[in-house]
């Protein structure tokens, strides 16, 4: 096997590149997680997270991947037999629903085509039909990482309100937080599920839930068994410095630095940067689309994600072969297709600690891999991305 030199271009939609500043911040000794020094770090982190979630309510953190926060949301809010509505958007939405089912909840799926954003009108119609208010919650993924489709959370909130339905509103922001605008309080979200390794630029292993006052009230009534995830324990006397077990001190070192970086750049500037890099990527794919080449999987330009682009290769070609070539020949790592999209799409992550040369380098590797694997495509995708980047804001 050939030895790779130079930077590994890590272009997966999670985990993402970890900035050197964050790595350096984590390269320190342990401290007592019950002491004042740690408490000060944790308090700075929770205050910073609230600004990123755009909430004045509660944020709880866990030593876990995002799957842990998914589970925390379920076991703290519901009782066996409760009915919840999963709004289908792709692999991640259905996966969250499967977990609810495994805990004995009755899961109804609001079906949706994976290539378009979920329809607020369809949600409103379904909720209006539920006159008895049997549905206890609506579960939505903000940015569906398997498809690159962004859902309009504010519009879905308005749909719930228009139907005058009391369901709790649960939103997974794992691949949108810190990359695209999200507003927990303004958009009336009851539980926000987030992870460390995407827009927050940390390693995998820390997860978060934003929890509304209504959700905390629901937690007191819920009957599902829970210990590690139990919000009542985490909200115990010492409040947010309190942990079920040893607090992940090193994650807090990293989180403190990542949040400082976010604050320095400014959330709005971060969103503009993500949009620029995403749009450059889309310009490249639109050129590749010529000659019946690969296309952007998300159909509606308004719903195309600024953190990940799924690219569908033409019928009869293997997306995984393109990915493998990118990795083996050019040391560029892309995301693969999940579930029914396996082999049909490759996914370009453009979120986190990323700039123009990094995305252009990756796009160039992909364009070369398309050529090498014999996938028909238009030439000049990278040039189109460059043209966009020099003229755009
Ligand atoms: C990555 C991701 C998850 C899973 O998070 P893990 O940290 O891998 O457990 C869930 N939902 C979405 C939308 C994601 O992008």
Question: With helix as H, strand as E and coil as C, how does the chain read?
Answer: CCCCCCCCEEECCCCCCCCHHHHHHHCCCCCCCCCHHHHHHHHHHHHHHHHHHCCCCEEEEEECCHHHHHHHHHHHHCCCCCEEEEECCCHHHHHHHHHHHHCCCEEEEECCCCCCCCCHHHHHHHHHHCCCCCEEEEEEECEECCCCEECCHHHHHHHHHHCCCCCEEEEECCCCCCCCCCCCCCCCCCEEEEECCCCCCCCCCEEEEEECHHHHHHHHHCCCCCCCCCHHHHCCCCHHHCCCCCCCHHHHHHHHHHHHHHHHHCHHHHHHHHHHHHHHHHHHHHHHCCCCCCEECCCCHHHECCCEEEEECCCCCCHHHHHHHHHHHHCEEEEECCHHHCCCEEEEECCCCCCHHHHHHHHHHHHHHHHHCCCCCCCCHHHHHHHHHHHCC
> How much is the pLDDT for 244?
83
Quote the pLDDT of residue 240: 53
Residues 182-238: pLDDT tens digits? 999 999 999 999 999 999 999 999 999 999 999 999 999 999 999 999 999 898 765
| 279 and 322 part of one domain | yes
For the CA of 175, the nearest atom of ligand 1: 15
Whether residue 282 is found in the same domain as residue 229 = no
Question: Cis before residue 15, ω within 30 degrees of 0?
Answer: yes
Joined tokens for residue 361: 């380098």
Please give the number of the atom of ligand 1 that sits closest to the Cα of 197. 7
Residues 215, 302 within the same domain: no
pLDDT of 345-390, one tens digit each?
A: 999 999 999 999 999 999 999 999 999 999 999 999 999 999 999 9
Q: Ligand 1: distance of its center to the CA of 387 in Å?
A: 33
Q: What is the per-residue pLDDT across 260-315, written as a single tens digit (0 to 9) for each?
A: 999 999 999 999 999 999 999 999 999 999 999 999 999 999 999 999 999 999 99
254 inside domain: yes
381 shares a domain with 296: yes
**Ligand 1 centroid – CA 171 distance (Å):** 12
Same structural domain for residues 259 and 278?
Answer: no
- Domain end (from 219, 236, 263): 263
Residue 45 has a pLDDT of: 97
Q: Is residue 320 part of a domain?
A: yes
Q: Which strands sit side by side in the sheet containing 206-211, from one edge to the other?
A: 58-63, 206-211, 191-195, 168-172, 135-141, 83-87, 106-110
Same domain, 105 and 244: yes
From 246, 263, 280, the end of a domain falls on 263
For ligand 1, pick from 63, 66, 93 the residue to mutate: most ligand atoms within 8 Å of CB: 66
Q: What is the CATH number of the domain that holds 120?
A: 3.40.640.10
Closest by Cα among 194, 219, 98 to 141: 194
> 72 C-alpha vs ligand 1 centroid, how far in Å?
14
Domain with residue 330: its CATH number is: 3.90.1150.10
Q: What is the pTM of this model?
A: 0.97
Contact between residue 189 and residue 157 where contact means Cβ atoms under 8 Å apart: yes
Structural domain containing residue 242: 20-263
Nearest Cα residue to 229 out of 28, 1, 63: 63
91 CA from centroid of ligand 1 (Å)? 10
- What sign for the dihedral angle of Cα 265, 267, 272, 276? positive
For the CA of 143, the closest atom of ligand 1 is: 13
Does 339 score more than 80 pLDDT? yes
CA distances to 25, 220, 244, 258, 385 from 44, in Å = 15, 28, 20, 12, 39
Could you tell me if 172 and 277 lie in one domain? no
Pairing of strands 135-141, 143-144: unpaired
What pLDDT was estimated at residue 391?
Answer: 94
Tens digits of per-residue pLDDT, 40-68? Answer: 999 999 999 999 999 999 999 999 999 99
**Count of structural domains within the chain:** 2
Ligand 1 pocket list (CB less than 6 A) = 14, 65-67, 92, 141, 145, 172, 174-175, 195, 204
């Amino acid at each position: 096997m050939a030895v790779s030199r130079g930077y590994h271009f890590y272009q997966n939609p999670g985990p993402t590149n970890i900035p050197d500043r964050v790595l350096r911040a984590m390269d320190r000794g342990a401290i007592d997680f019950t002491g004042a020094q740690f408490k000060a770090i944790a308090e700075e982190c929770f205050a910073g997270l609230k600004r990123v979630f755009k909430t004045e309510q509660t944020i709880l953190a866990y030593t876990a991947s995002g799957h842990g926060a998914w589970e925390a949301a379920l076991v703290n809010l519901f009782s066996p037999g409760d009915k919840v509505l999963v709004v289908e958007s792709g692999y991640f939405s259905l996966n969250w629903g499967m977990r609810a089912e495994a805990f004995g909840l009755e899961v109804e799926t609001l079906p949706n085509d994976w290539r378009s954003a979920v329809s607020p009108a369809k949600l409103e119609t379904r909720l209006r039909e539920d006159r008895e208010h049997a549905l206890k919650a609506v579960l939505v993924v903000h940015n569906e990482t398997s498809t690159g489709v962004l859902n309009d959370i504010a519009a879905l909130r308005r749909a719930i309100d228009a139907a005058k339905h009391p369901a709790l509103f649960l939103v997974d922001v794992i691949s949108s937080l810190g990359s695209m605008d999200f507003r927990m309080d303004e958009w009336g979200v009851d539980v926000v599920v987030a992870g460390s390794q995407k827009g927050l630029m940390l390693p995998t292993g820390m997860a978060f839930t934003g929890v509304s006052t209504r959700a905390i009230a629901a937690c007191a009534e819920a009957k599902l068994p829970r210990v590690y995830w139990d919000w009542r324990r985490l909200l115990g006397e010492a409040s947010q410095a309190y942990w079920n077990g040893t607090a992940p001190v090193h994650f807090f070192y990293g989180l403190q630095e990542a949040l400082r970086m976010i604050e320095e750049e400014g959330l709005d500037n971060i969103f503009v940067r993500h949009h620029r890099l995403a749009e450059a990527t889309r310009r490249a794919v639109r050129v590749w689309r010529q000659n019946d080449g690969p296309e952007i999987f998300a159909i509606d330009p308004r719903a195309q994600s600024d953190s990940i682009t799924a690219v569908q290769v033409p019928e009869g070609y293997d997306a995984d072969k393109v990915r493998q070539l990118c990795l083996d020949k050019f040391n560029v790592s892309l995301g693969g297709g999940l579930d029914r999209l396996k082999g049909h799409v490759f996914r370009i992550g453009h979120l986190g600690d990323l700039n123009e040369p990094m995305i252009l380098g990756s796009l160039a590797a992909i364009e070369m891999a398309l050529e090498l694997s014999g996938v028909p495509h238009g030439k000049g995708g990278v040039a189109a991305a460059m043209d966009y980047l020099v003229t755009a804001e």
